[in-house]
């Protein structure tokens, strides 16, 4: 008989009051970042925040462009910006999103961002927990960025450089 793979992904479902002080700081930074999104085409504002090893916060937003595919999601904008500065460890990531003139909505990161999130995490020793906005004002806390992308493409299949 054929074998079956069963995957389990665990996330804690929290209320804002259940966040630790550090989590709340990162969460609020992601929400505040949405004010600064450059989203004149989709009118959908996304903010992403990282809590760093020195307890500072890095944040960024989605950056759109009249040549639509040239734009970039908030998650990749903040991660690529940080990855260009070596030696930083990320302790936590948070994402928030809302329509330009609206309330925050539940959202999960797109597939391309998940691939970048997983590889960014693999470049440091410790996993990066992730806070995503769940339905009805809840917050989903994943234990690791890689949890969002089972079966991620891994660089170890690439041929060794000669
Ligand atoms: N967007 C993000 O910033 N993150 C995601 O994970 C999905 C979508 C942005 C891209 C675009 O600027 C707008 O949201 C609408 O897709």
Query: Residue 38: which CATH number?
Result: 3.40.140.10
Q: Tell me what pLDDT residue 88 has.
A: 92
Q: Check residue 127 and report its DSSP letter.
A: -
Q: What is the pTM of this model?
A: 0.96
Contact call for residues 110 and 72 (beta carbons, < 8 A): no
Specify if 132 maps to a domain. yes
Using the structure block, give the residue that is written with the tokens 């961002």. 113
Q: Which among 46, 43, 18 has a CA at the least distance from the CA of 107?
A: 46
Specify if 70 maps to a domain. yes
Specify if 31 maps to a domain. yes
Q: Is 23 helix (H, G, I), strand (E, B) or coil?
A: helix
Specify if 8 maps to a domain. no
Number of domains in the chain: 1
pLDDT tens for the chain, 162 residues long, are 899 999 999 999 999 999 999 999 999 999 999 999 999 999 999 999 999 999 999 999 999 999 999 999 999 999 999 998 888 999 999 999 999 999 999 999 999 999 999 999 999 999 999 999 999 999 999 999 999 999 999 988 999 876
Query: What is the residue with the minimal CA distance to atom 6 of ligand 1?
Result: 109
Q: Ligand 1 pocket: which residues have CB below 6 Å?
A: 39, 42, 44, 46, 62, 64, 71, 73-75, 109-110, 113
Specify if 5 maps to a domain. no
C-alpha 17/C-alpha 23 separation (Å) is 10
Domain region containing 135: 14-148
Specify if 153 maps to a domain. no
Specify if 62 maps to a domain. yes
145 C-alpha vs ligand 1 centroid, how far in Å?
17
Specify if 53 maps to a domain. yes
Q: Tell me what pLDDT residue 162 has.
A: 65
């Amino acid at each position: 008989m054929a074998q079956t793979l069963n995957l389990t992904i665990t996330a804690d479902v929290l209320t804002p009051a259940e966040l630790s002080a550090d989590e709340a700081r990162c969460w609020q930074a992601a929400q505040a970042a949405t004010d600064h999104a450059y989203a004149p085409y989709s009118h959908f504002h996304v903010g992403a925040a990282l809590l760093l090893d020195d307890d500072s916060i890095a944040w960024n937003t989605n950056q759109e462009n009249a040549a639509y595919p040239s734009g970039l999601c908030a998650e990749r904008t903040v991660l690529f910006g940080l990855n260009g500065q070596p030696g930083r460890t990320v302790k936590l990531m948070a994402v928030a999103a809302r329509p330009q003139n609206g309330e925050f909505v539940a959202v999960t990161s797109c597939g391309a961002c998940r691939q970048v999130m997983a590889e960014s995490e693999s470049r440091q020793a410790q996993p990066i927990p992730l806070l995503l906005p769940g339905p009805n004002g809840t917050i989903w806390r994943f234990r690791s960025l890689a949890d969002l992308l089972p079966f991620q493409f891994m660089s170890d299949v690439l041929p060794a450089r000669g």
